[in-house]
């Protein structure tokens, strides 16, 4: 009689391991993550969350004066407030009636080896850059637009229309604005001109509140940059709010929504926009997609007194 009890199976396993000459197969660590892809249906529209990787931000990015509170909140979120804080970077591929629209391009080769994973993740789902019909930007910071060009300033999306918020493009292509941005962001001015040259003839400057195409509409979200824009993806009653840089470290900026980050062009304007967008998302119970919310970046916003909380959307195995 075969002993199928738990004790019997354990004993059999130990006996087999002790047999001379019996080698167990070695399984070395893989050493890399699986492709960063996750799909969600918004009515008839399919959205794929595509990771570009992550970067680490110093806790002092919210200001030295706020550092004690920043560390306390990070500790409550099981993060080390004495070390650089992980900051995810997501992009979103939207399939609208068979047309592929990529919202933001990640960082390309500009921000180190933990970023720039968008092309590999797109390839894992069988999408090459020439298959992208439209590239849409929330803004022109390098972690969102760096994937537009290679190191020789050649366009990485050879046939796509590039849609950039009108106010954003006007700001970053005007050198008179250089003194209006933090020192660390001033490389955005020559980069915007390189993008403009590389995509000349296929750039559409998007007006505030305009449609990218039916199903994707721009919403002004100024402050982080002058033309920072978020996008409402809608199909029937279903909606998704792709809300760009409303937060960089969600644990901190939901608890302290009035705190700016070192990269904000207008910290007060960014804070006012954050409250407005959070209030809208909470009141309308919108699903939001954040570029810097832990992959896949999908959540709901809950009002909590004078601050907010992000509630991660549950994983769905079926579309």
Residue 275 within a domain: yes
Which pLDDT value is given to residue 156?
96
Residue 108 within a domain: yes
Domain with 105, as residue range(s), is 35-312
Mean pLDDT of 62-80: 95
Residue 8 within a domain: no
Of residues 129 and 19, the one with the higher pLDDT is 129
Q: What is the pLDDT of residues 183-235, one digit of tens each?
A: 888 889 999 999 999 999 999 999 999 999 999 999 999 999 999 999 999 99
Q: How many domains does the chain have?
A: 1
Q: Is the pLDDT of residue 54 over 60?
A: yes
CATH, residue 122 = 3.60.15.10
Q: What is the pLDDT of residues 128-146, one digit of tens each?
A: 999 999 999 999 999 999 9
Q: Is the pLDDT of residue 182 over 90?
A: no
Say if residues 74 and 253 touch (Cβ distance below 8 Å).
no
Which pLDDT value is given to residue 14?
45
Of residues 113 and 251, the one with the higher pLDDT is 251
Q: Are strands 238-242 and 216-220 parallel, antiparallel or unpaired?
A: unpaired
Q: Is the pLDDT of residue 310 over 60?
A: yes
Please say whether the dihedral angle defined by the alpha carbons of residues 123, 128, 133 and 138, taken in this order, is positive or negative. positive
Per-residue burial over 241-262, b = 16 or more CB atoms within 10 Å of its CB, e = otherwise: bbbbbbbbbbbbbbbbbebbbb
Q: Is the pLDDT of residue 12 over 90?
A: no
Taking the model in full, what pTM does it have? Answer: 0.90
């Amino acid at each position: 009689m075969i002993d199928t009890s738990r004790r019997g199976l354990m004993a059999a396993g130990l006996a087999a391991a002790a047999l001379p000459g019996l080698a167990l197969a070695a399984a070395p660590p893989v050493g890399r993550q699986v492709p960063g892809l996750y799909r969600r249906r918004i009515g008839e529209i399919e959205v794929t969350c595509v990771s570009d990787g992550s970067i680490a931000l110093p806790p002092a990015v919210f200001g030295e004066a706020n550092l004690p509170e920043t560390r306390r909140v990070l500790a409550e979120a099981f993060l080390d407030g004495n070390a650089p804080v992980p900051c995810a970077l997501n992009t979103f591929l939207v399939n609208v009636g068979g047309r592929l629209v990529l919202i933001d391009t990640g960082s390309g080769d500009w921000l180190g080896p933990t970023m720039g994973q968008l092309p590999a993740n797109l390839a894992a789902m069988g999408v090459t850059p020439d298959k992208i019909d439209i590239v849409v930007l929330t803004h022109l910071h390098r972690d969102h637009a760096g994937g537009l060009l290679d190191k020789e300033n050649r366009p990485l999306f050879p046939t796509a229309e590039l849609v950039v918020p009108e106010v954003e493009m006007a700001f970053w292509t005007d050198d008179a604005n250089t003194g209006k941005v933090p020192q660390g962001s001033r490389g955005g001015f020559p980069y915007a001109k390189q993008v403009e040259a590389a995509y000349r003839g296929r750039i559409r400057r998007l007006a505030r509140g305009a449609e990218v195409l039916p199903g994707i509409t721009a919403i002004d979200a100024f402050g982080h940059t002058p033309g920072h824009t978020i996008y409402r993806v809608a199909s029937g009653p279903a909606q998704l709010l792709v809300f760009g840089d409303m937060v960089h470290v969600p644990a901190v900026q939901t608890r302290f929504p009035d705190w700016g980050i070192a990269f904000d062009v207008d910290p007060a304007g960014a804070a006012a926009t954050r409250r407005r967008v959070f209030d809208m998302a909470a009141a309308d119970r919108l699903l939001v997609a954040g570029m810097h919310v832990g992959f896949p970046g999908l959540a709901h916003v809950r009002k909590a007194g004078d601050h907010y909380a992000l509630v991660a959307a549950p994983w769905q195995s079926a579309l």
